[in-house]
């Protein structure tokens, strides 16, 4: 009645993996960061090529070189503070929209998972919501809810809601039949089943949905801002402004900040996913 043989094997296996990791740390680091670094260098090279070789000096404003963008947009104190306060506003709008999306989206998905008729009555409209052209809706939202903070948040919600609903709904159905049988055998009710089986099983899918929605929320914050053209300036308003004034250095600065915000949010949720489900979800632990 022992598993000691298997136990010893496991300990050996763990030790072996441990040593390999220590030996290969330098190579691993390069293998991890090398490829994206190479792409980045190629990208910068292409940028310079266009700025200095393809475009002559008169037309260089169409694609100012990287150092000009940094100098004008980020090193000039006035421009920098204008960009940073816009970034702060857009970040706040995106996060508020994301939080509301998560709450509404998860609640909707949980309801949908409880009864077939709820799913059938709600899901088609969630899909339609996703398909409505944002461009058509944004001005209307402005007319209905004024052009302030809350309208911007509403645009974010409209754009980022659907992935939360669909991924949570998908995740809630990922527990298999025998696991459900196990709960049925012990007479578990809906709430217990949801809390101890379906929600934990859904977490990998739910967090993937968060990650997608978070980047969409950033897009939503900027799009709403761009179309409203009123109220405090977020990144969207600045982009419109710089475009109109042909201030391309600042325009690129704003675009870079918007991208950075998206990437940071995406990374953050990736990190959160690994923290929450990395311990057990196989996809985050490829066999070494």
Partner 1 sequence: MTERHGEPGPTGDTAAQSATAPAALRFSHVGKRFPDGTVAVTDVNLEVGNGEFVSVVGPSGCGKSTLLRLAAALTRVTEGSVEVRAGTLGYVFQDPTLLPWRSVRKNVELLAELERMPKAERRQRAVEAIKLVGLSGFERHRPRALSGGMRMRVSLARSLVLRPDLFLFDEPFGAVDEITRERLNDELLQLFLARRFAALFVTHSVSEAVFLATRVIVMSPRPGRVLGDFPIPFDYPRQPQLRFSDDFAHVAARVSRCLRDPEV
Interface contacts to partner 1, rule CB under 8 A? 1-4, 6-7, 9-10, 176, 178-179, 181-188, 192, 196-197, 200-201, 203, 277, 279-282, 285
Q: Is 167 exposed, middle or buried (0-12, 13-18, 19+ CB in 10 A)?
A: buried
Q: Give residue 72's Cα distance to chain centre.
A: 29
Q: Which of 66, 200 has the CB closer to partner 1?
A: 200
Q: Which of 218, 277 has the CB closer to partner 1?
A: 277
Question: Smallest distance, Å, CB 14 to partner 1?
Answer: 9
CA dihedral 251, 253, 259, 263 (to 10 degrees): -170
Question: Smallest distance, Å, CB 178 to partner 1?
Answer: 5
Which tokens sit at 78? 């006035």
Question: Smallest distance, Å, CB 110 to partner 1?
Answer: 18
Whole-number Å distance between alpha carbons of 93 and 265? 13
Question: Smallest distance, Å, CB 179 to partner 1?
Answer: 5
Q: Which of 7, 62 has the CB closer to partner 1?
A: 7
Question: Smallest distance, Å, CB 62 to partner 1?
Answer: 53
Buried b (16+ CB within 10 A) or exposed e, 98-126: bebbbeebbebbbebbeeeeeeeebbeeb
Question: Smallest distance, Å, CB 5 to partner 1?
Answer: 9
Question: Smallest distance, Å, CB 286 to partner 1?
Answer: 12
Whole-number Å distance between alpha carbons of 240 and 255? 11
Matching residue, tokens 């598993």: 3
Could you tell me where the beta strands, DSSP code E, fall in the chain? none
| SS3 category, 55 | coil
Q: Which of 116, 186 has the CB closer to partner 1?
A: 186
Whole-number Å distance between alpha carbons of 203 and 185? 24
Q: Which of 60, 180 has the CB closer to partner 1?
A: 180
Q: Which of 229, 275 has the CB closer to partner 1?
A: 275
Which tokens sit at 85? 């306060």
Which tokens sit at 95? 């996060």
The end-to-end CA distance of the chain, in Å, is: 31
Q: Which of 101, 208 has the CB closer to partner 1?
A: 208
């Amino acid at each position: 009645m022992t598993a000691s043989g298997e136990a010893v094997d496991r300990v050996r296996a763990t030790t072996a993996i441990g040593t390999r990791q220590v030996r290969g740390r330098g190579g691993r680091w390069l293998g991890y960061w090398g490829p994206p670094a190479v792409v980045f260098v190629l990208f910068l090279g292409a940028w310079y090529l266009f700025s200095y070789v393809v475009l002559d000096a008169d037309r260089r404003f169409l694609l100012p070189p990287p150092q000009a963008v940094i100098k004008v947009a980020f090193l000039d104190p006035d421009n920098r503070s204008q960009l940073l306060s816009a970034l702060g506003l857009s970040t706040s709008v995106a996060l508020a929209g994301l939080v509301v999306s998560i709450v509404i989206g998860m609640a909707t998905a949980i309801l949908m998972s409880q009864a077939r008729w709820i799913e059938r009555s709600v899901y088609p409209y969630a899909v339609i919501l996703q398909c409505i052209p944002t461009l058509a809706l944004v001005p209307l939202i402005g007319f209905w809810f004024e052009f302030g903070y809350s309208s911007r948040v509403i645009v974010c919600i409209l754009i980022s809601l659907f992935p939360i609903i669909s991924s949570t709904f998908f995740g809630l159905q990922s527990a298999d039949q025998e696991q459900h049988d196990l709960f049925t055998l012990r007479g578990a009710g809906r709430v217990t089943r949801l809390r101890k089986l379906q929600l934990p099983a859904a977490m990998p899918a739910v967090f993937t949905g968060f990650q997608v929605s978070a980047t969409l929320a950033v897009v939503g914050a900027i799009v709403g801002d761009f179309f409203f053209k009123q109220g405090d300036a977020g990144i969207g308003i600045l982009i419109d402004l710089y475009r109109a004034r042909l201030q391309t250095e600042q325009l690129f600065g704003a675009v870079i900040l918007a991208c950075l915000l998206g990437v940071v949010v995406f990374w953050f949720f990736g990190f959160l996913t690994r923290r929450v489900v990395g311990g057990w979800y196989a996809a985050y632990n490829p066999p070494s």
